[in-house]
Structure 1
């Protein structure tokens, strides 16, 4: 009798889970019917474990369905991989967060309006360096006085450490610093010291990944109501890599936005940050340094070192994480380190409309997953 009762309860629980899954999947499908969406890949962590992964829509428009194992260029969430790498080098004493970036880069990095103010590595990672993207960020020539006659324009009017402006160039500079002080090419360092210990598949080098697993990325144009393929998202850069200058050509791999990874593996990486440096298979940074990454430096933006805090993604819940957008892709990785839950959502093309500072499709998908799979009853 007892065995029969347990079996019945198990059946009820499984049936309830199935109904719940049907409900939230139908909610996501309804969202995709209401707004233009090429594809969505999602992953949910609850109680510190990956409990759900699912892909919706197209990997290649009208040709192939998206699968959870497909990988995406995740855009600016990539910055946290660069910052994590820096923290590893800080632990090995190869670098210090308050090191002068001029010395680290090998050329002068000084705001010409504040020549006596040191710009530190911590400032690069927190977007408080006063450096801007106004001269571009695809090459370090943008800020190198010996390469760019307009290098002064790469700086803002405020003093280093006294303002905030999101800056992609700062993270491409960070990638070059990682390279110089680790002795390994940037993409190879991240693969060997961040991805491999956590058992994750991905990387910054397109040529070392399975091209068949790439989810095509599309830009949606609201005026024409059409999606357009963005092949540049996975440009192989073969010639540039062949002529690579160690410690300077690093923007080729885009430390600021070029990580390619699946939603489930990004969720496993997120678990590491949720657990303050300890992943499912290994600890890769100390608890202290993981907490440093999550501690806001810029009060107006609540931004730490490639991770920021917000209560606008899910109303009333303070979460830690990052967003990404490039080539038509939108992504989000956010978690609660105290309650041990988190959500990853990646779209390879969708309606670009924003609400409350987030892409509306991404924000609404996050909230559906939270309400159906995480929120206490």
Structure 2
């Protein structure tokens, strides 16, 4: 600040103080804690763009946006931008399974072989050994194909793979542990869950999610991409992966390898609508929601995390329990949670975290947003 500006500011402050009543202090507007937390992670972690939505139990929603639509272009990112939500798709898939359970169409404790005969072909395990519940809670022991994709991202950017082929790719790896032994996160679990939904409903997964969840909740900016669809519909920011010396644009790609485990697109506001509705009992019946909330320790995610059926629980600083998930696809990371009284928050950033500290700041923003609501 230049000296002349300092004198002017000081003079103005003297004037303000002179006209205040005796004993009064100048009024300052407290900074919104969510806006401050977003500004902090944007500055420290250098996200190209950050999007936040906060839903109060009164159904009032506030949205925030920071950053740009595209690097080296000054256009600001709109708060209602669509983003790829990655593994938050798992919660949609799990909720759909629970609807089918409540209708008596399938059973959580039936084995996979009941619905998908001969599909799980592995020298160490078969569909007879794994239950639907174990799929949803990541206790099947089935290996993941994530490394096959993440180590060769540019090769997979525009490559389509069917759910069955994706599963077969996962099953080329050794089983990590015996079914039911412990938590071991694997996308293969939800690939199978999606195939089970299609087998028992007789309809495509995307159609079932749309008919049973998206349309009833009015999630107008949420969808499951069509086969081969690589470009996000509507307004959306560019997304970047840290590859080499500079970020690489990875906005357009084929998410088919994610399928029921991670292919969907949404907005932060729609995510708060869905997770709030789920938390308050408006998506699945009470008995099935109770099943979703039966958790086991999932410390491999982060300290204090517990996993239910498509839901991660953790304790908030204000004493409430949060129920949510997270999603990471190349170029985008999102975190979302809701409490049982309907408060919810979601954040999405357009580059993947490269440190545990950056990831913790995203979860910390969720905590701040819900606890300040």
TM superposition score category, shorter chain reference = 0.7 to 0.9
CA distance in 2 between counterparts of 1:208 and 1:351 reads 23
Using a 3 Å threshold, how does the CA distance of structure 1 residues 367 and 161 change in structure 2: closer, same or farther? closer
Deviation at residue 347 of structure 1 after TM alignment: 0.8
Check conservation: 2:88, 2:262, Cα contact below 8 A. Answer: yes
Counterpart for residue 305 of structure 1: 309
Counterpart for residue 234 of structure 2: 212
CA distance in 1 between counterparts of 2:50 and 2:174 reads 36
Give the number of the structure whose alpha-carbon radius of gyration is greater. 2
**What SS does the corresponding residue of 1:231 show, helix, strand or coil?**
coil
Using a 3 Å threshold, how does the CA distance of structure 1 residues 351 and 322 change in structure 2: closer, same or farther? closer
Check conservation: 1:330, 1:359, Cα contact below 8 A. Answer: no
Using a 3 Å threshold, how does the CA distance of structure 1 residues 208 and 127 change in structure 2: closer, same or farther? same
1:320 to 320, 323, 328: 323
Using a 3 Å threshold, how does the CA distance of structure 1 residues 159 and 34 change in structure 2: closer, same or farther? closer
Counterpart for residue 287 of structure 1: 286
Counterpart for residue 277 of structure 2: 272
Counterpart for residue 52 of structure 1: 62
Computed over aligned residues only, the root mean square deviation of the Cα atoms, in angstroms, reads 3.1
2:248 to 228, 234, 258: 228
CA distance in 1 between counterparts of 2:111 and 2:97 reads 14
Check conservation: 2:33, 2:368, Cα contact below 8 A. Answer: no
- 1:177-256 alignment runs, 5 A limit: 177-201=196-220, 202-205=222-225, 207=229, 211-220=233-242, 224=245, 226-233=246-253, 235=254, 254-256=259-261
Unaligned ranges ≥5, structure 2: 1-26, 150-160, 300-304
2:346 to 344, 347, 367: 344
Unaligned ranges ≥5, structure 1: 1-15, 237-250, 279-283
CA distance in 1 between counterparts of 2:298 and 2:61 reads 34
Using a 3 Å threshold, how does the CA distance of structure 1 residues 104 and 41 change in structure 2: closer, same or farther? same
Using a 3 Å threshold, how does the CA distance of structure 1 residues 87 and 351 change in structure 2: closer, same or farther? closer
Counterpart for residue 39 of structure 2: 29
Deviation at residue 110 of structure 1 after TM alignment: 6.8
Using a 3 Å threshold, how does the CA distance of structure 1 residues 184 and 115 change in structure 2: closer, same or farther? closer
CA distance in 2 between counterparts of 1:205 and 1:307 reads 22
1:131 to 142, 155, 165: 142
Q: How many corresponding residue pairs?
A: 325
Check conservation: 1:343, 1:366, Cα contact below 8 A. Answer: yes
Using a 3 Å threshold, how does the CA distance of structure 1 residues 112 and 44 change in structure 2: closer, same or farther? same
Counterpart for residue 334 of structure 1: 337
Counterpart for residue 132 of structure 2: 121
Using a 3 Å threshold, how does the CA distance of structure 1 residues 110 and 302 change in structure 2: closer, same or farther? farther
Using a 3 Å threshold, how does the CA distance of structure 1 residues 23 and 341 change in structure 2: closer, same or farther? closer
